[in-house]
Amino acid sequence: EAQVTQNPRYLITVTGKKLTVTCSQNMNHEYMSWYRQDPGLGLRQIYYSMNVEVTDKGDVPEGYKVSRKEKRNFPLILESPSPNQTSLYFCASSLWGAGRSQYFGPGTRLLVL
Amino acid sequence: SQQGEEDPQALSIQEGENATMNCSYKTSINNLQWYRQNSGRGLVHLILIRSNEREKHSGRLRVTLDTSKKSSSLLITASRAADTASYFCATEASGGGADGLTFGKGTHLIIQP
């Protein structure tokens, strides 16, 4: 089954404790992206990747890191989480090129205390 | 940056009625897409309309695009309780754009049984 998986689905952590949210897709998509969703703000892009070893900042990259060492995986790293990073995070993937629709993961709900 | 703006922010109708949501955007686009999100879950792609298309149908969905007004509408006919969800428009900018899609803040649709 074609899918995007994220882990963990729920996470409660404390300020400053490094964490990683994993994202994996099995559709051989070149393009992957991370979004955060906050009430009243919709989805905002954090980082995206056009292919292995190619990543770039989205609209709200501060406080986040990503890596793309393999085509299927695109982890999101919070080196020193802060309470303002409490949010619902989504990973998405798609083929590269115009007219592509994105496939979304189920989301990771993060609470930073 | 936020590109699409959906209107209304929330809509409540009776089962069987038609639901119409609107989206406005600011810059030239390659295509516009609509996604559905059930509460707290990942977004699911519904339909894509290209900039040279004016109307598109998929089952009970009808999408229109007016590039001169930079606006789109999503019509769901004969609504069902299962259509209760948030609906987002997303635009892909002209020129492709490596940063992918830009999402609006969504319309929350409630179908009353």
**What are the angstrom distances between the C-alpha of B62 and each of A90, B56, B78, B94?**
27, 6, 12, 23
Q: Which residues have CB under 8 Å from A45's CB, separation 6+?
A: A33, A34, A35, A58, A59, A60, B99, B100, B102
Give the DSSP letter of residue B105.
Answer: -
**What are the angstrom distances between the C-alpha of A30 and each of A24, A75, B31, B64?**
12, 15, 19, 30
When pLDDT is averaged across residues A1-25 and rounded to a whole number, the result is 96
Hey, of B29, B86, B103, B107, which one would you mutate to test binding to chain A, going by the most A CBs within 10 A of its CB?
A: B103
Q: Which residue of B has its CA nearest to A89?
A: B42
Which residues in B lie closer than 8 A to residue A107 (C-beta atoms)?
Answer: 40-42
The 3-state secondary structure of chain A reads CCCEEEECCEEEECCCCCEEEEEEECCCCCEEEEEEEECCCEEEEEEEEEECCEEEECCCCCCCEECCCCCCECCEEECCCCHHHCEEEEEEEECCCCCCCCEECCCEEEEEC
| Encoded tokens for A106 | 């189920």
Q: Which tens digit of pLDDT belongs to each residue from A21-55?
A: 999 999 999 999 999 999 888 899 999 999 999 99
Which residues in B lie closer than 8 A to residue A38 (C-beta atoms)?
Answer: none
Q: Which residue of B has its CA nearest to A101?
A: B45
Which residues in A lie closer than 8 A to residue B100 (C-beta atoms)?
Answer: 31, 33, 45, 48, 94, 100, 102
Which residues in B lie closer than 8 A to residue A49 (C-beta atoms)?
Answer: none
Tell me how far apart the alpha carbons of residues B64 and B51 are, in angstroms, rounded to a whole number.
10
Q: Which tens digit of pLDDT belongs to each residue from A45-103?
A: 999 999 999 999 999 999 999 999 999 999 999 999 999 999 999 999 999 877 788 99
| Encoded tokens for B106 | 């969504």
Q: Test A104 with B101 for CB contact under 8 angstroms.
A: no
Q: Which tens digit of pLDDT belongs to each residue from B55-113?
A: 999 999 999 999 999 999 999 999 999 999 999 999 988 765 566 788 989 999 999 99
Hey, of B30, B102, B107, B108, which one would you mutate to test binding to chain A, going by the most A CBs within 10 A of its CB?
A: B102
